[in-house]
Amino acid sequence: MHKIRLTLAAMTLAGGLHGAALAQEPPPPPGGAGLLTWTPEQQRYGYRNMEKVTAVHVVPRGTHVKELPLAPRQIDPKWPWIGAPQTVASYMAAMNTSAVVVLKDGKIVLERYGLDRKPDERWTSFSVAKSVTATLVGVAIKDGKIKSLDDAVTDYIPELKGGAYEGVTVRQLLTMTSGVKWNEDYTDLNSDVARAGVVPGEPGMNPIVSYMRKLPREAEPGTKFVYKTGETDLAGILVSNAVGKPLSQYLSEKVWAPYGMEQDAIWVDDPAGHERGGCCMSMTARDYARLGQFMLEGGKVDGKDILPPGWVADATRAHQSFPPGGVETGYGYFWWIIDGGYAAEGIFGQQIFVYPAEKLVIAVNSAWPVASKDELWQAQAAFAQAVRAAAK
């Protein structure tokens, strides 16, 4: 991958999101693939107002809220990056960060906001939603609605029979090893990730299923890792087909309400009105942190398992290992494996870091000037390492 060296100061200029608050509410920016090319001003408005941009499902909260008390000791990390000293404030300004919430032992040790965001305002997740979808696969297995990870995907989405997904298992879907050919280039509006779900589908069929069933196979199932947002959308359709409910309702019933999230979430729909399993939930920064805490606690609600025994450990271990030198060391079930823990990641700087041994959760929301770049992920990883050091 071609790399462009960016300092944090340069990224501040590139983002251009700081200054006076918007004088009036702007018109909603374009939805669909257009959100990959939003201007900084469109990001600033659209990421916190996705329900004004496109159709969504609501994930209702429950009657109680899981408290996140302030820890007696608050942290204020300082660290070097590319030869310059960094603070939380300088990092957030440079990286166009709208929120940081850090939990240690379930208590808040750091909470900051930027881009004029308020604590009760939601922010879109992009691919952090993938990790939620994978967790719902586990819940459906615990409920007996999905029999096994070794079941065929076509058992739950029969429209995929006869194509490249014939013989692909649910496990291979969750580990991105289906062998189906896919292009995840966010800068190319003709890529699969930009076109899936937007191109009109066959009559009576979900457009994402229609798109995915026509893709060719490039490798035997289980032999090649290729990151595919379309497959996480398929996983979401698979879950809702298996449980007979919308993803938003199932998530609300099983996790959102009983665990005690503080606000309703929203989940962006595909053109057929089905929640995108691979993208775009919106929630408060504290609810991002609560999701990480839910995983840290082993996927339990009031001490009761809602996931199969060992699911969290299995989902967050490296089923695929990557060469050394990168931020991520491997991939689990729609969770990225990192040094000391695991993470849910979304383009433009959305991330939940979970460090089980340290009982530490770091939630970050941002509006990066580009969807994904090695230097941006490296800078965010350096921030997480500084938080880890300060929280010891």
Share of the chain above pLDDT 70, in %: 94
- pLDDT band per the 50, 70, 90 thresholds, residue 145: very high
Q: Are 299 and 138 a contacting pair, CB within 8 Å?
A: yes
**If you ran DSSP here, which 8-state letter would residue 84 be given?**
E
195 or 313, which is more confident?
Answer: 313
pLDDT, tens only, 230-263: 999 999 999 999 999 999 999 999 999 999 999 9
What tokens appear for 36 in the block?
């990959």
Cα four-point dihedral sign 346, 14, 96, 28: negative
Read off the pTM.
0.92
Q: Are 87 and 359 a contacting pair, CB within 8 Å?
A: no
Q: Which residue has the tokens 């779900």?
A: 197
How many Å apart are CA 262 and CA 318, to the nearest integer? 32
**If you ran DSSP here, which 8-state letter would residue 113 be given?**
E
How many Å apart are CA 367 and CA 100, to the nearest integer? 13
What tokens appear for 80 in the block?
């070097």
Burial of 275 (0-12, 13-18, 19+ CB in 10 A): buried
pLDDT, tens only, 61-88: 999 999 999 999 999 999 999 989 999 9
